[in-house]
Amino acid sequence: MIKYIPILRGKPGEFTALQNLEGKSLDEICPLIQFLPDSNPNRVGNYLDKISLELANAWNFEGNLIYFDTSYLQDVHFISELISLINS
């Protein structure tokens, strides 16, 4: 049963925190991840691809639930790729 829905802003430290959860708490949490446009003009590589991979590594167990807030994004391709990555 879900008891807590943390709202995370899609930052690497938050994904690390998800990775460190274990036991019963995994079944009681359903994170809501907000994906925001990249605000760093000097970033190397695709920010959304990097975040997707980090999320897939952090929250990858059978029966996991997750919500996405993509209302700040315009890239429909990213959203479908993210869902494919998470499913695999």
Per-residue pLDDT of the chain (88 residues; tens, 9 = 90+): 889 999 998 777 888 888 888 888 888 999 998 887 777 777 777 777 787 788 888 888 778 888 988 888 777 777 777 777 777 6
Q: HSE of 86 in the Cβ direction (CA atoms, 13 Å)?
A: 18
| pTM score | 0.76
pLDDT number for residue 74 = 77
Contacts of 7 (CB under 8 A, 6+ apart): 31, 32, 34, 69
Phi, psi for 29 (deg, rounded to 5): -120, 140
> Residue 77: its pLDDT value, please?
75
pLDDT at position 46: 76
Instruction: Determine the pLDDT at residue 31.
Output: 92
Query: Domain extents for the chain?
Result: 7-87
